[in-house]
């Protein structure tokens, strides 16, 4: 196999990791929405924690995207 | 109309190229120069200074539009800082506010076509993250002495688990500067590459003549939507960076869990 082809296939595989981040983000926002609809008064106070969870999970997806970008362009 | 030869030349990475504008000479084999990144950092700082000077020049009791914008920015950061690090954290307000405004303006100025995005370079975001982590570690040891190491020893953990937990805490602490810098960098990089890839679709499609022009409307609409999303991401990443900075500062101020 050509090294370039292997790198491109590897980039595709690396992007699978973003699926995990997608599941995590859906989980966190879905649960926030469920909690916020039960107790709307408390929802605004938890926005910071929501964004914190979002940032931590998103970083993991971004790491796998970064691997893919490195394989394609670097 | 772009020919198909031009369409092949669409290079989504080209926008990140750093060009030396003024070269001062050589030092240790590397060229000392004022480059595009430096120019845009100067522009960002000038823009922030102009914004804050203009908005506070009148200082009315009833704020005008610009003044209320500046007050909103102040209250926004002060709110995050007070919530995350308590009233003692307010001594770090200048640091967090400067970081937030710099990243926000860098991201937003980068959204203007043909403008350079400073935060899409890892070296810039790594320097910002290093600034935060050095402040956290330095202030943590300055204020708490050796007690800062309590950060790695959570209370209420059974003894046999302790070595494992301490190892995990240390690794998670060491990965903070990496995740802090790579998150901002990769978000801006990926967003701008996506925009340019879709812009490249428009050029490639319009090479096919009338039918291509019709088809090129689709990526064009998408690019408008993506630009709106990127402006949201620009703000969100500045917010996330400021908030994580506040949380890390909280660790330095109150190291015991």
Q: List phi, psi (to 5°) of B31.
A: -85, 130
Overall average pLDDT of the A18-39 stretch: 94
Q: Is B84 near chain A, with CB under 8 Å?
A: yes
Of A48, A55, A73, the CB nearest to B83: A48
The rounded distance, in Å, linking the Cα atoms of B240 and B154 is 25
* Predicted confidence (pLDDT) at residue B182 exceeds the cutoff of 80: yes
Indicate the pTM of the whole model: 0.85
Q: At what angle do helices B65-85 and B93-110 cross, to 10 degrees?
A: 120
Task: Assign residue A23 the CATH number of its domain.
Answer: 1.20.20.10
Q: Is B80 near chain A, with CB under 8 Å?
A: yes
pLDDT score for B257: 58
Largest CA distance in chain B: 74
Examine the predicted complex and report whether its ipTM is higher than 0.90.
no
- Distance in Å, alpha carbon of A56 to nearest chain B alpha carbon: 8
Q: Which residues contact B236 (CB under 8 A, 6 or more apart)?
A: A51
Q: Which structural domain, as residue segments, surrounds residue B123? A: 4-253
Whether residue B44 contacts residue B106, with contact meaning beta carbons closer than 8 Å, is answered with yes
Q: How confident is the model at residue B217 (pLDDT cuts 50, 70, 90)?
A: confident
- Distance in Å, alpha carbon of B240 to nearest chain A alpha carbon: 7
Domain count within chain A:
1
Beta-bridged to residue B34, according to DSSP, are B22
pLDDT digits (tens, 9 = 90+) for B95-145: 999 999 999 999 999 999 888 999 999 999 999 999 999 999 999 999 988
pLDDT score for B10: 67
Domain count within chain B:
1
Beta carbons of B186 and A55 less than 8 Å apart = no
B189 contacts in chain A (CB < 8 Å): 69
A48 contacts in chain B (CB < 8 Å): 80, 83-84, 243
């Amino acid at each position: 196999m050509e090294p370039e082809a292997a790198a491109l296939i590897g980039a595709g595989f690396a992007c699978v990791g973003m699926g995990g981040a997608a599941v995590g983000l859906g989980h966190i926002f879905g649960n926030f929405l469920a909690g916020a609809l039960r107790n709307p008064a408390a929802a605004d106070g938890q926005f910071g924690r929501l964004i914190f969870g979002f940032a931590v999970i998103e970083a993991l997806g971004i790491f796998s995207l970064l691997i893919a970008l490195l394989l394609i362009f670097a | 109309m772009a020919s198909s030869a031009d369409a092949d030349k669409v290079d989504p990475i080209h926008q990140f190229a750093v060009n030396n504008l003024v070269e001062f000479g050589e030092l240790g084999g590397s060229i000392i120069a004022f480059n595009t990144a430096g120019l845009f950092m100067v522009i960002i700082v000038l823009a922030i200074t102009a914004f804050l000077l203009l908005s506070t020049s009148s200082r009315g009791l009833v704020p005008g539009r610009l003044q209320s914008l500046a007050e909103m920015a102040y209250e926004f950061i002060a709110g995050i800082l007070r919530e995350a690090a308590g009233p003692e954290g307010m001594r770090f307000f200048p640091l967090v506010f400067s970081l937030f405004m710099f990243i926000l303006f860098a991201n937003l100025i980068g959204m203007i076509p043909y403008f350079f995005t400073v935060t899409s370079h890892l070296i810039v975001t790594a320097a910002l993250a290093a600034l935060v982590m050095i402040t956290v570690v330095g202030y943590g040891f300055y204020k708490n002495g050796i007690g800062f190491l309590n950060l790695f020893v959570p209370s209420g953990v059974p003894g046999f688990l302790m070595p494992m937990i301490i190892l995990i805490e240390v690794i998670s602490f060491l990965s903070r500067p990496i995740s802090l810098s790579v998150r901002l960098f990769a978000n801006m990089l990926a967003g701008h590459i996506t925009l340019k890839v879709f812009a490249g679709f428009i050029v490639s499609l319009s090479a096919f003549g009338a039918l291509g022009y019709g088809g090129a409307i689709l990526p064009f609409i998408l690019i408008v939507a993506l630009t709106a999303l990127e402006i949201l991401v620009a703000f969100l990443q500045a917010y996330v960076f400021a908030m994580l900075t506040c949380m890390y500062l909280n660790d330095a101020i109150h190291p015991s869990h």
